[in-house]
Chain A
Amino acid sequence: MRDTTQTHIVGTPALRKEGIGKVTGGARYIDDMALPGMWHGATVRSNIARGIIKDIRFGAGIAWDEFVIVTAKDIPGENCIPLIVDHDQPVLVESQVNHPEEPVVLLAHPDKARLHEAVAAVEINYEPLPAVFTIEESERQKTIVWGEDNVIKRFLVEKGDVDSAWQRAAHIVTGEYHTGAQEQLYIENNGVIADWSEADGLTIRGSMQCPYYIHKALLRVFDLPAEKVRVIQAETGGAFGGKEDYPSMIAAHAGLLSKKAGRPVKIIYDREEDLAATTKRHPSRTRYRTAVDGNGRLLAMDIQVDLDGGAYATVTPTVLSRATIHAAGPYCCENIRIRSHAWATNLPPHGAFRGFGSPQTIFGIERHMDQIAKAAGISPEEVRRRNFLAPGKTTATGQEIRDVIDLPGMLDRALKVSDYEAKHLRFARENATSSPIKRGIGVASFMHGAGFTGSGERYLNSLVGLEADATGHVTVLVSSTEFGQGTNTMLSQVAAEALGLSCEDISVAQPDTQRVPNSGPTVASRTTMIVGRLVQDAAHALADILRGKNLLGEIFSVTEFRAACAAYTERFGALRAEVRYQAPKDIFWDDVAYKGEAYPAFAWAIYVAEVAVDTRTYSTQVVNFYALQEVGRVINPLLATGQIEGGVAQGIGYALYEKVVWKNGRMSNNQMTNYIMPTAVDVPNIEVYFEEMPCEHGPCGAKGLGELPHDGPAPAILNAIQNATGINFTSIPLLPEDMYLRMAETPEPDAKETAGCV
């Protein structure tokens, strides 16, 4: 296949590859599995935020000799989960606890029902230390909880000359925006089965996004050579980033228990534990100071980005990186400064969640653009139109836009399909009446970089394999995982398209580090663009191998392909092609100055949210939602639409419902009844529109879209609420209680004095 615009399988709603198992109940998630002789494991966790362990007592009433007990002393290798900052996060606490729910002791027992009682019977006594729980407390640097200064990471991006722009400004607009922690809330909790044997080493099966991350971590924890650790992904019930790095921890735990017990051990978290102990989206505070001219054009942006990283670094440096790079939005500005910091606190470490820093700063910039519009006396859509990036313009890091992108055109289409102008007028009219329902419509425009930042993909050095057997059945060999987003189906379509086969002729091998090469983690909206492209290339390479033996012509039919495979395998044995990632020649990135081409490609989007605010209950309903995005090429319209709809629903939760209530560093609302995600009655109709400008990097021109849809909803919704109520809410989640506080700022004097309230 040479012509990227004419496709037969790419671009069709091919059925989900593993769908039959999912609708019959036959799909096997980790808790559906058991190994012979398997025991169950559980974790004893700290109940303070910071302190030194004085002693650990194993209480009366438990037959402790029936249990396998593991502490940090049992770790054969290094007591750390290496990720970006080494020797930071321990597998088990040795002496100092740095966050609530930090793992201290592991227990295993044959009878799962006996574990919770035993966990409760382990008493840990601490000498408490002062702790910090917010960005503000950490940045005061009165209590140092990490490194020298609580700063896990900092970045400085400078473009042009910000400081001299203020005097030329017609308006200087400042704003401060806050986003809260958010739980990924995959419906399948974290779980793993570890199987240790002296002969084979450690085998891990579990719910995960990145088998090779786990593999790498366990080599260190268990001091094993690469061939003695094997990681296999089980069917995974949702992840969204929450199973990017956390599984290394639970795998290490199960592995330690398995090693000591001499038998397989399964650890499955229940919802309360998963909510309280595992990673959340980084809370953020962004500050914008912007100079605009008399036409509302950006002259300068001085931006501060601060994230709460929690107690250990984990993925925080990269989250901060993405937050930083996306902080200036899809706008043209010659003078930009972005100063960003990730602060350590004594909360469980924050981690990856769809968007990975960009929902936080896109919230900031998109809310801020509406304030700029107001100051400049122009409409929100007009201020965007006047400032959009265009081909030839550069981003905050100086990346020149080469996409033939037409953001004003996209804006026009988004406004048209949402009937924006007419609604805007109608709402203004209706809101002036005495009805308690105030309606509003709001816009957000944004971009999302696909793939790892800068030199990240080069560092990942992804490798992909493609095998064909004697019948011509092709197997894709990647470590990229399926967890609902469509990896298996998309890769099958790409491979089938490239070889002129059908999807039924393609299988995707179960990600098993013993079998598949490391195609990198399944994160960063890279799977379609980077890994899909490698699969496409590997398919071409496979055909070239056959051509090299004169078994296949330039163009070939399915029958010819099958015959060629039969002939090749008979004569030469295994038929396999491997392709390694090659960084595009024209991508330049300076990691020190943080300048250059941050991403090989961006997806672009305009989202419109329509809301109804009930001023009696201070609650906001999203009534309609319109999501328009340019993604290069849609490999599978059904799956792609599902990704956008699901991301928008999560964004709605982020804006209006999902609040983590912290008490002394611990999530106190760690039950599904109290951590509120939208139900089918809360999510509105979502209209999804795709535009395609094929990108040279991806398969058939595709870019990434997995995270994009979580970037736009929150600011679009709060912009709509401002349109409805006239109030600039700057913090999410925006709960009715928050809206009430602001809107009832002048309550009846009697109410405050005489209400029988606590």
Chain B
Amino acid sequence: MRSNASQYELIAPGSLDSVLALLAAEPDAWTPMAGGTELMVALGAGRLEQHKLVSLWGIDELRQITANDDWLSIGAGATFTDIRQNAIVAKDFPLLARAASWTGAIANQNRGTLGGNIVNASPAADSPPVLLVYEAEIELVSAQGRRRMPYSEFHLGYKRTVLRPQELVKAVHLPRGRHLPVEYLRKVGTRNALAISKVALACVGAMQSGKVSTVRIAAASLRETPARLSATEAALLGHALTPERIQAARKALLQEVKPIDDIRSTANYRAHVAANLLEEFLEQMTASNSKTRS
């Protein structure tokens, strides 16, 4: 334990409004903490630079998962366990339930929150690629009001987001009724559980008349933010999945990703495996095509 806990402040105003008021009154002074699974690691390692923290834990308003016909709304304070256990997530957004089940292990899932994970903005995070292919929207809130945008616009660069100092993530909204027949998610970690992703690919798609009619592909650990692979999508959209087309899509992916060498893996491995995962997804697309034809 490399920090002195007595040098840190943590307060728990207890309601969303009071937290927002605090953030508005003292911009940049207070760092929100949800489940603490990131910030407390930093504390233990002696590198928690923010000494004034405001707790979001226990604010029920932030932890709700609600649904209407059009949207599933996941409160930023929902834990990964909450997400795993939610019936609508399991049925309509199964990739998200899976990503949640791969985030750390059970004890981490019980405390880690979707909002905290998103704000921490690691390019390796498990849920963001899924949110991208499900075309999620993210809702931010401050004392001044709310704003809502496609989640794809939230990340600006490595660990930089559009979140303003007085803002919190309020919820992530997933549009319902856009279910696609092929859904694919694969995470490659350092081991089968309790692992940070080396590379992960989330894909959804559909075939029509033997051609790719819809496809959305997003990745973790291939760029400095969770990212849609739009060039790869473009290489596929409207095309039949011939061997040549698949090679072209691989090439497009390899060209558009910018992975790095780091302590967990290498750039070349990440890129090459991502291309292999893409092929695995495209095999499923081909299989779904033959199913719909027969």
Contacts and interface: CB of A to CB of B under 8 A. Distances in A.
Asked whether the complex places CB atoms of A and B closer than 8 A, the reply is yes
B163 interface: no
Interface stretch (A89-97, A309-317, A639-647, A668-676): A668-676
A120 B2 CA distance: 10
B260 interface: yes
B191 A740 contact: no
A116 interface: yes
Contact of B255 (A116, A661, A668, A754): A754
B254 A681 contact: no
B234 interface: no
B3 A740 contact: no
A431 B5 CA distance: 56
B269 interface: yes
Interface stretch (A213-221, A328-336, A744-752): A744-752
Contacts of B195: 676
B4 A618 contact: no
Interface centre among B191, B265, B280, by most chain A C-beta atoms within 10 angstroms, is B191
B274 to A, nearest CB: 10
A731 to B, nearest CB: 16
B107 interface: no
B45 interface: yes
A57 interface: no
B164 interface: no
A740 B268 contact: yes
A116 B192 contact: no
Interface residues of A, number: 41
Chain A contact residues, majority secondary structure: loop
B272 interface: yes
Interface in B239-264: 247, 250-251, 254-261, 263-264
Contacts of A678: 191
B263 A737 contact: no
B192 A682 contact: yes
A371 to B, nearest CB: 27
A270 B46 CA distance: 12
Interface residues on B, range: 35 or more
Contacts of A755: 254-255, 257, 267-268, 271
Contacts of B2: 116, 270, 272
A744 B272 contact: yes
A743 to B, nearest CB: 10
A736 interface: yes
A113 interface: yes
A555 interface: no
A757 B194 CA distance: 27
A737 B268 CA distance: 9
Contact of B269 (A272, A740, A754): A740
B188 interface: yes
Contacts of A402: none
Contacts of B6: 113
B196 A740 contact: no
A740 B263 contact: no
B277 to A, nearest CB: 7
A661 to B, nearest CB: 6
B273 interface: yes
A758 to B, nearest CB: 5
Contact of B258 (A616, A676, A747, A756): A756
A116 B263 contact: no
A389 B192 CA distance: 39
B282 to A, nearest CB: 12
A674 B124 CA distance: 14
A685 interface: no
Given A113-B4, A674-B263, A681-B192, A756 B273 contact: no
A751 B256 contact: no
B190 A754 contact: no
Given A736-B269, A751-B275, A756 B193 contact: no
B10 to A, nearest CB: 16
Contact of A679 (B44, B45, B191, B275): B191
Given A116-B3, A681-B192, A755-B254, A668 B263 contact: yes
A618 B269 contact: yes
B86 interface: no
Interface in A663-704: 668-669, 671, 673-674, 676, 678-682
A112 B6 CA distance: 12
A76 to B, nearest CB: 31
Contact of B5 (A113, A619, A668, A748): A113
A676 B263 CA distance: 11
A617 interface: yes
A67 to B, nearest CB: 15
A345 to B, nearest CB: 21
B276 interface: yes
Contacts of B265: 737
A104 B272 CA distance: 45
Interface in B179-200: 188, 190-196
A619 to B, nearest CB: 7
8 contacts: A117-B4, A616-B277, A616-B280, A674-B264, A680-B193, A756-B257, A757-B267, A757-B271
Given A616-B276, A679-B105, A751-B250, 10 more contacts: A116-B46, A616-B277, A617-B188, A674-B264, A676-B190, A679-B191, A679-B194, A736-B269, A751-B251, A751-B275
* 4 interchain residue pairs of minimum CB distance: A757-B267, A681-B193, A616-B276, A113-B4
